A and B are shown apart, each in its own frame.
Chain A
């Protein structure tokens, strides 16, 4: 308790407190505006808006995970969509098992796609996913373990900079190709969908959806506090030192590899949790989530919001995705050009992103 209080008092500044207040407000308003406010009222949030808010918050978590390693430790990962998707697939496996005999083929154990492939029994790696607690552990473990093994080899071999970015991209691409194959046992290019329930609650019910939004807000706030605690500690300053002068840090006696590895693993776990919260709200997970472009988009969110700020990354994720939702609806052919132009403009004129504007605006007032 005292440790938590110390972390809160030393590492959460005023901007951080406003950010947490905003997330808390969303968590409180979402169920009220959706469930209690009548549909005729202009304040009412439709199911669509509710899902959108939940989705944006998942993306905000993902952006924060990328910002932690890119903004603070200088590690540019172009493969974070992979960790996000793996977390999502773990949740998806649980949700598939919850369908039970209600699938199209009505098989008591096997999900539809396995029946379709003429499989007769559940593959070993699906065992345990009928339990929520097991899925929960896997959501943390699978992305974390992959990041650990991958980071162990990459950082130990002192792969840095653009080379690291390229191999993370390759990792994500390789996983996408693997998950596209039907015999991998993850539903091939259709992935998982048609979920029914989570923990016994109907996923089509607004109350369940509101609860998921609240859970996402809690996870977002918790990740923010955890990231803040890391970057506000001496470990955070060591990460900055590694970013600015890696070999100097090594000669000071720090195991640079292990610092990079731990922060990378932590970041991957956060991304995995975000993915796991994303899937039940969106209702589908398929291999296109691993697509290299997804990881690159995350980097753009962070750049737009301002790297090395955490809340800026979250804001960037929400703003860019809001623009995406709007533009892909109104002018679908323009979206990719707009995204590219946004990245170029931000890099040229706003090297510190939108949050770089913030202190200036405060000063002007």
Chain B
């Protein structure tokens, strides 16, 4: 299984990226499971005695669109923080594919390894144009000196146009990002993730504050991405989850409470008790 869309990188970059990944990958052997894109095993994170994650174990298949739900404080955001390197767990394992130990990498290294994250609050570069936002998100060597002399190749331009098309922002390409609506900023941010050619997309509450129409467009967008990328969506909006979910994981107090399709999960008495029934 390829962890990186390596064929899309320039040879020198590819060699370096692979080397970095190899060096960063840990001494211990990977878990004896095969064919998953994300392995989270027995993750525990505590803040001042409060266990935000308590032995969380979760696997995600390649190409899967997984929804994660759970009441406030269930550990959804902390889990994302661990995957993207923002928070280091007290114990447990987190592997991206078979070769990448997420716990040994920094945030930019994880991003370059192929995990993109969309924050709850849309964060785009407000002072730059839509096009520039996407340009900065391009995959490749991102060192200071390289960026001083970088210019866009035809393939990269086409890639940006393609993402503009996917996210429905083609007519806004020259607009300053601060002039976009809330929903458009969310799409732009998803577009920026796509520019990085990620294997795995983490999307935190994509439809919070969206109009019904925008919510629908977002559902379509995420569904069109599944299959080509693995997507993990954290969301509170149940209708939205129902419309896109194939598999739903319910978190509660830092653990997985239930997993299955939406109907199964909704019938589970434990889930009804802690979350849906409340």
Contact = CB atoms under 8 A, between A and B. Distances in A.
A233 interface: yes
Given A237-B136, A241-B136, A252-B137, A258 B123 contact: no
A247 B108 CA distance: 10
Contacts of A251: 84, 107-108, 111, 116-117
Interface string B77-101: 0000000100000000000000000
Given A244-B126, A252-B136, A259 B144 contact: yes
A237 B126 contact: no
B112 interface: yes
A163 interface: no
A220 interface: no
Contacts of A244: 125-128
B150 interface: yes
Given A3-B149, A237-B132, A259-B144, A253 B108 contact: yes
B128 A245 contact: no
A258 B112 CA distance: 16
A319 interface: no
B128 A253 contact: no
Given A253-B112, A259-B144, A240 B149 contact: no
Interface string A254-294: 11101100110000000000000000000000000000000
A252 B119 contact: no
B119 A234 contact: no
> DSSP majority for the A interface?
helix
Interface string B120-145: 00011111100010011101001111
B196 interface: yes
A250 B107 CA distance: 7
A240 B117 CA distance: 20
B119 A248 contact: yes
Contact of B144 (A240, A248, A258): A258
B191 to A, nearest CB: 12
A253 B111 contact: yes
A258 B147 CA distance: 12
A258 B125 contact: no
Interface residues of B, number: 29
Contacts of A230: 148
Contact of B127 (A240, A254, A258): A240
Nearest to B152: A234
B192 interface: yes
Nearest to B107: A250
A267 B116 CA distance: 32
Contacts of B116: 251
B145 to A, nearest CB: 8
A109 interface: no
A241 B117 contact: no
Given A229-B148, A241-B136, A248 B124 contact: yes
B128 A241 contact: yes
A215 interface: no
A305 to B, nearest CB: 20
A248 B125 contact: yes
B26 to A, nearest CB: 21
Contacts of B196: 252-253
B107 A245 contact: no
B108 A245 contact: no
Contact of A255 (B128, B132, B137, B143): B143
A187 B147 CA distance: 43
Nearest to A255: B108
Contacts of A248: 119, 123-125
A248 B108 CA distance: 10
A3 B137 CA distance: 24
Contacts of B127: 240, 244
A234 B123 contact: no
Contacts of B147: 233-235, 238, 259
B176 to A, nearest CB: 12
Nearest to B139: A253
B25 to A, nearest CB: 18
Contact of B142 (A233, A240, A254): A254
A250 B136 CA distance: 11
A244 B125 CA distance: 6
Contacts of B128: 237, 240-241, 244
Most-contacted residue by chain B among A235, A253, A255, A262 (CB, 10 A): A253
Interface of B: 84, 107-108, 111-112, 116-117, 119, 123-128, 132, 135-137, 139, 142-145, 147-150, 192, 196
14 contacts: A235-B147, A237-B135, A238-B147, A241-B125, A245-B125, A245-B126, A250-B107, A250-B111, A251-B116, A251-B117, A253-B142, A253-B196, A254-B108, A259-B144
Given A3-B149, A251-B84, 12 more contacts: A233-B149, A234-B147, A234-B148, A238-B147, A244-B128, A245-B123, A248-B119, A248-B125, A250-B108, A251-B117, A253-B196, A259-B147
